[in-house]
Amino acid sequence: MAVKTTAALSARSSAKARARPILRRLARAYPDHGPTLEFSTPLDLLVATILAAQARDERINEVTRTLFRKYRTARDYVRVPQSTLEREIRSTGFFRQKAKAVKAMSQGVVERFGGEVPRDMDALTSLHGVGRKTASVVLGAAFGAPAIAVDRHVARVAVRLGLSKAAGPERIEEDLRKLYPPRDWYEVTWTLVFHGRRTCTPTPECPRCPVRELCPYPRKTR
């Protein structure tokens, strides 16, 4: 038990020492980091994030450029017939489930929050179809609140970089929160997202990785 504890402390110490340099390098490598879903209001971003499940952000933006001109409030989404909304978001995939989720979420916003998207994690995740990742995206990007959103890219990159050894998103989020102060959480989220999308993909592009020297991943590509 003592050996295991010592090893865990050593790993944490190593991650702590590398965390700041990693973030600095990634921020320089991806100066355009930030949400790639287009939005004007917190409701826009909440809807777009729900629609973005298993779809490319570019496709979602094509759909929401029209959608957001038509539906400006949560009440608008509540009033629209299910079949109409399904037709309008069909190209996002899984459109029936997504239309139901958007309408149910909007119903909750109207009935329990007076039509305004709430600004805290517990309230957001109480809405239908809104998990911790979606809530964190909205909190950080729409409200400027400290939040780390762990999607598949953040999870993959955090583990490969040795910033977390956890398997689940909530545990990975917890590890990242321990390594970085709240003022950095927005940047942590989006630099890891961009790194996972552009370089540290499922088959990583290690030769052009800006943090290669800081990465303990044992299966680097050449």
Q: Which residues are catalytically annotated?
A: 133, 151
Q: What angle do CA 20, 183, 120 make, to 5 degrees?
A: 135
List, in order, residues 6 or more apart from 212 with CB less than 8 Å away: 206, 220
Written in H, E and C, the secondary structure of 44-85 is HHHHHHHHCCCCCHHHHHHHHHHHHHHCCCHHHHHHCCHHHH
List, in order, residues 6 or more apart from 1 with CB less than 8 Å away: none
User: Residue 66 has which token pair?
Assistant: 């029209």
Cα 27 from Cα 29, distance rounded (Å) = 5
Of residues 181, 179, 152, the one with CA closest to residue 19: 179
